[in-house]
Amino acid sequence: MNERIKEELIAKRKELEWKNNLRSLEVINWIDELLKKIEGEKKPAAPAPKEVVVDLPEEKPAEEKKPAKKKITFKKK
């Protein structure tokens, strides 16, 4: 998107260079400032993330735990 805007601003600047009046020079200066702002907004490209390889230990099948047996006791009277 910025590239398209930048191209349109450059084309408009070239068109205004042919006109020799004070207003054209003001607009050309304004366009130059906008182009500098667009150039300044570009962020440096982040380096590509390096591939990280992690070896995970093999999963052992989980042993099924049997529920603990409750000992039933009766109270003697």
6-25 pLDDT, tens per residue? 888 888 888 888 877 778 88
- How does pLDDT run across 45-54, given as a tens digit for each residue? 677 778 888 8
Domain hosting residue 16, numbered range: 2-41
> Does 58 reside within a domain?
no
Distance, in Å, from the CA atom of 64 to the CA atom of 1, rounded to the nearest integer, reads 59
> Does 6 reside within a domain?
yes
> Does 57 reside within a domain?
no
| Domain count of the fold of the chain | 1
Its sign, for the CA torsion 7, 9, 12, 17, is: negative
> Does 17 reside within a domain?
yes
> Does 16 reside within a domain?
yes
> Does 10 reside within a domain?
yes
Mean pLDDT of the residues in the chain: 79
Percentage above 70 pLDDT, the chain? 86
